[in-house]
Amino acid sequence: MTQDKSTSATAFSMNGGDGPYSYAENSSYQRKAIEATQGMISEEKFDVKQMCSSSSPMTFCIADLGCSVGPNTFIAMQNIIDGMKEKNKSQGHSSQIPEFQVFFNDQVLNDFNKLLMSLPLHREYFASAVPGSFYDRLFPKASLHFVYSSSSIHWLSMVPKPVEDMNSPAFNKGRIHYGGAAKEVVDAYLAQFVSDMECFLSARAEELVSRGLMGLLVPTRKKANLILSTVLSHHPFDVLGSCLMDMATKGLLEEEKVDSFNLPLYIPTVEEFEEAMKSNEHFSIERFELLGLKSSSEIVPETLSMHARASMEGRIGEHFGIEILDELFDLFTKKAAELGICNSGNRFDAELFVLLKRK
């Protein structure tokens, strides 16, 4: 085993702490998605006792991959435990309540101190933190019963290499993402996504017990038939890229710095995601459902800007210097207002919930 695959993946943990730009204060959207899946898990057919048959005494192990610093992960884990307890009871195994062990995973640079200090005091599980990239193995063979991941696996393990290669047709000049870019750039991003999903599923196939479950929440685009770059041209990341270019034009930063900065993030179409999930022979798709969540109607440019800053400040500060951050996100707020990109339809089309079962 080695640690993280790439430094770019390592650097992409969310903002820690609890300041105004922290992830903890800027993740209400993710929370809504978690709540929407709660009912679905409890509707599924599976036997908790059977799943735990390889462990004696009965322990049910859950992992949240890309958990960040809370509190969303605590809500999600409790929901899963409640669902499992309910299921176990309805199947007449009330006398045998399993013990629960929860593994909170994120990149090694995640603020684990904040996560562990804010664990619920009266929790029903044994907690533990696991650092590292979920594109590698993180757990022993057949040691998990339920894997969960929300709004995380659209973050790639690394920026696709051709996108940062000046001699490649996929070199992404003047942009920080594939929105509005040439087809070669989009293709390079998609290829990285497909390769990453293979690694993700192979690792999980080893770690999950037979009949183990994996619930994934992932943002997707619906319109596979349109040219990606058109669909995404008003995506917040593209707007952020154009703000950086504006600052380069004003001489506040070097244009080459923008050329060499790219976000390792790909929002797949529903079809692309389904194909990636089907590519691994060890899983069956038990549920595949578009949640169709919308951001709350109150979202204002300032809020969108804070959300973007929560997830990207670390990486941008590291590449361009932290002194540009305030001006950059002020500019972003103004542009977001001018372009009217604050409704969720322009961010991504739908949150997808997928439930996979290990064969």
| Binding residues vs a copy of itself (CB under 8 A) | 1-3, 54-57, 59, 99-101, 103, 108-109, 111-113, 116-117, 119, 121-132, 137-143
Q: What are the structure tokens assigned to 16, written together? A: 């820690």
Task: Tell me the closest approach of the beta carbon of residue 311 to a copy of itself, in angstroms.
Answer: 19
Q: In the chain, what is the straight-line distance between the N-terminal and C-terminal CA atoms, in Å?
A: 25
Residue identified by tokens 């790219």 is 262
Which residue lies nearer to a copy of itself by CB, 117 or 290? 117
Q: Cβ 13 to a copy of itself, closest distance in Å?
A: 11
In the complex with a copy of itself, the residue whose CB is nearer, 116 or 194, is: 116
- Residue nearer to a copy of itself on the CB measure, 124 or 327: 124
Q: Which two tokens mark 38?
A: 């709660």
Of the candidates 236, 260, 237, 239, which has an alpha carbon nearest to the alpha carbon of residue 174? 260
Q: By CB neighbour count within 10 A (0-12 exposed, 13-18 middle, 19+ buried), where does 151 fall? A: buried
**What is the CB-side half-sphere exposure of residue 67 using CA atoms within 13 A?**
33
Cβ atoms within 10 Å, residue 288: 14
Minimum distance from residue 315 beta carbon to a copy of itself (Å): 17
39-53 burial: b if 16+ Cβ within 10 Å, else e: ebbbeeebebeebbe
Report the C-alpha gap between 266 and 269 in whole angstroms.
10
Residue closer to a copy of itself by CB (options 142, 339) is: 142
3-state percent helix, strand, coil for the chain, nearest multiple of 5: 45, 20, 40
CB of 151 to a copy of itself, least distance (A): 22
Minimum gap (Å) between residue 1 Cβ and a copy of itself: 7
Closer CB to a copy of itself, 21 or 112, in the complex? 112
Is residue 48 a contact partner of residue 93, using CB atoms and an 8 Å limit?
yes
Work out how close the CB of 317 gets to a copy of itself at its nearest, in angstroms, rounded to a whole number.
18
The nearer residue to a copy of itself, 145 or 235, going by C-beta atoms, is 145
